[in-house]
Amino acid sequence: MDFYTGKEFKIYRKKSGNLIPFSFKKDIPFKPKRIFLVYGNKGYVRANHAHRKCSQYLIAITGKIEITYQYKNLNSKIILNNKKKMGFLLKPFTWLKIKFLTNNCILMVFCDMEYKYSDYIVKYNDFLRIK
């Protein structure tokens, strides 16, 4: 599947703590222009939109997060959590729904373009019509 990277991030463990480096060249499948964090608690849903041009790469920093997505004729979901040490790539014209499955979740999102409201498709019926 060309969404899920399947590549585990390298982790350096020490008694004092862990370090996970991210190389923009090796780990992120595009050159990031913007990064943001989404916080949430169990049961809450975020996103419910798609982008026209923006690709996004999602990484769970803490907690367990369900990613439901629709791309072309594919409807699927995956679970991201900080224990898997993997990311998830969202391509343009992918409808996204984020559900927090545990409390105190943090999702880090890398984007390949700056914020632009006109890039968002916020109505599901518009998304279905466009795709």
Write out pLDDT tens, residues 59-107: 999 999 999 999 988 999 999 998 887 889 999 999 999 999 999 999 9
Closest CA to 27 of 13, 39, 11: 11
pLDDT score of 90: 94
- Mind listing the domains of the chain with CATH numbers? 12-130 (2.60.120.10)
Q: Which amino acid is at 84?
A: K
Closest CA to 69 of 51, 86, 85, 43: 51
Is the model more confident about 73 or about 115?
115
pLDDT score of 7 more than 70 = no
* Burial tier of 78 (Cβ tally within 10 Å: 0-12, 13-18, 19+): middle
Is the model more confident about 22 or about 67?
67
- Residue 117 and residue 51: Cα distance in Å, rounded? 9
* Burial tier of 119 (Cβ tally within 10 Å: 0-12, 13-18, 19+): middle
